[in-house]
Chains A and B, each alone.
Chain A
């Protein structure tokens, strides 16, 4: 336990130092910003997939809800930025609460059901009839609160918080009960675990992560469209980064994001198809030969992965 705490503290410090220094060393601040955003999203997917086995293809629905939550709170209700960001995250939690019956489904049904749900949220937000509330398909302009530096550090704080949440879940009885539910929900229920309540709790936590990331993302870019914040690629990246690194670990999504998002920035921005081709092939290879992700290579050698 003690060693775990030490390695967890080291991970948090390294992440903080890395992303505080990154804008000084790297000319384009938006690259480390987006890396933090995807890392947090990957940890959010990790919370759900790594500990319950639910793979949310529609995860981007919460991200978009967070971004639009901020825009509604700022533009219509004139909240100030920080409460609006937290409110944006809570928007996603409300959406998740409405969608919590999806948890009755399993496996492929849940994955595709959640994808359909996020598309519904997208079509509602982007519908021209919603123009008074969301500006419909025409996008949102938050120029009044534009502040790339503060929002950069806000994203760092969110990243550290949710990395810590994953650490807590991984080492707590709560996380163990989730793993028990994942293995065998019936036996877990018989051992006195409230299956529904715990699944809903982790589902809402995961949605809150994506909502906050979406909210800060909306703040950072300040101009966005429904098609950009509900872009399926966001779900796909978060899932692929998690799977690549390995779900159910703290380090997996971090390593996955650094390696693959780094690769994306090297080759993917100018020609995203090549990056899509590479991660498509990577997924195929992973499933065939390394279904537990990159970190399982260490685990197999008996090395404890935080």
Chain B
């Protein structure tokens, strides 16, 4: 019984972390209707940032996180203006964006391999700080609990941005209908550029936590992280930020329960969940009606 409870609580801790990892992908999709296949590679870059800052300069991961927020926001806005307006004008933006971001993901992976090598790097799990947490008589890794808390705060801030600020409301207007938002005087490109920046920032925050949650980091891990994120947002419905949290929890719980009881098959979890949801309820658990990608 205690094994079961441990798996459930860990599943929730991991699930919320996975939600954070996936939510940027969902946000970018919601605003621009593009699938950022390089999402996992940005998470990987965030993780390497945390690794080098800590192991070379002794910088605390939280300080790295703040620096990365600035850097990734700038990169995201720049990337948006560099490619996306042109892409959205083409005749098949959805497929072309998929191929384009696949190219970007290959470029990032290649550069990361040249810079960091192919060997996995790890960070000591106590580098995030100590925080004792006990539930049902079980002690949980403090890095898991801290990552969980950071994820809750980051997702909460995204929620506040979307629902309580003027720019957030404009963002949601674009998510609902890009053309009508433009017609009603919203600067669609500026808002979308910031949204893409925020999507990368969320990836970077998840990235700085990744070495503590998932262990070894290596350049080609990006693809797996992209598929995991995509599975989560499909489970929870595309374009729905709350859905992503549901998707993350479903994924985290399934993963931890599989690791506890059927560990040799646990690697398949994201893929099987993705296929099942795509084939049985393609609109996701919280989805309403049809949707196009």
Q: A residues engaging B (CB < 8 A)?
A: 53, 55, 101-102, 104-109, 111-113, 115-117, 119-120, 123-124, 127-129, 232, 236, 243, 273-274, 276-277, 279-284, 286-288, 291
Residue of A nearest to B291 (CB): A109
In whole angstroms, how far apart are the Cα atoms of A260 and B103 in the complex?
A: 15
Q: How far is the CA of A55 from the CA of B99 in the complex (A)?
A: 9
Within B85-135, the residues touching A (CB, 8 Å) are 86-87, 90, 92, 94-96, 98-100, 102-111, 113-114
Q: Which of B103, B265, B274, B292 contacts A287 (CB 8 A)?
A: B103
Q: B268 to A123, Cβ gap below 8 A?
A: yes
A108 touches B227 (CB 8 A): no
Give every chain A residue within 8 A of B279 (Cβ-Cβ).
101-102, 104
30 residue pairs of the A-B complex, CB under 8 angstroms, read A55-B95, A102-B275, A104-B282, A108-B98, A108-B293, A109-B278, A109-B282, A109-B293, A112-B35, A112-B230, A113-B275, A116-B270, A116-B272, A116-B275, A117-B271, A120-B271, A120-B272, A124-B268, A129-B264, A273-B111, A273-B114, A276-B113, A279-B106, A283-B102, A284-B100, A286-B103, A287-B99, A287-B103, A288-B100, A291-B90
A288 touches B86 (CB 8 A): yes
Question: What's the Cα separation between A153 and B90 when bound, in Å?
Answer: 43
Q: How far is the CA of A57 from the CA of B94 in the complex (A)?
A: 15
Of the candidates B103, B111, B231, B282, the one whose C-beta lies within 8 Å of that of A105 is B282
Which of B86, B103, B230 makes the CB contact (< 8 A) with A283? B103
Interface bracket on B: 35 or more
B100 and A283 contact, CB distance less than 8 A: yes
A119–B293 contact, CB under 8 A? no
Asked if B55 lies at the interface with its beta carbon under 8 angstroms from chain A, I say no
Q: Are A280 and B272 in contact (CB under 8 A)?
A: no
Nearest CB of A to B105, in Å: 8
Please judge, given known A-B contacts A107-B94, A107-B95, A108-B35, whether A287 and B293 are in contact too, CB under 8 Å: no
**Of the candidates A53, A129, A236, A291, which one forms a contact with B106 in the assembled complex, judged by CB atoms under 8 Å apart?**
A236
| B contact residues around A284 at 8 Å (CB) | 83, 100, 103-104, 107
* CA of A59 to CA of B99, assembled, Å: 15
A236 and B274 CA atoms in complex are apart in Å by 21
Bound-complex Cα distance A121 to B99 (A) = 24
| Cβ of B267 under 8 Å from chain A | yes
A104 CB contacts on chain B under 8 angstroms = 279, 282
| A112 vs B292: C-alpha distance when bound (angstroms) | 14
For residue B223, CB closer than 8 A to chain A, the reply is: yes
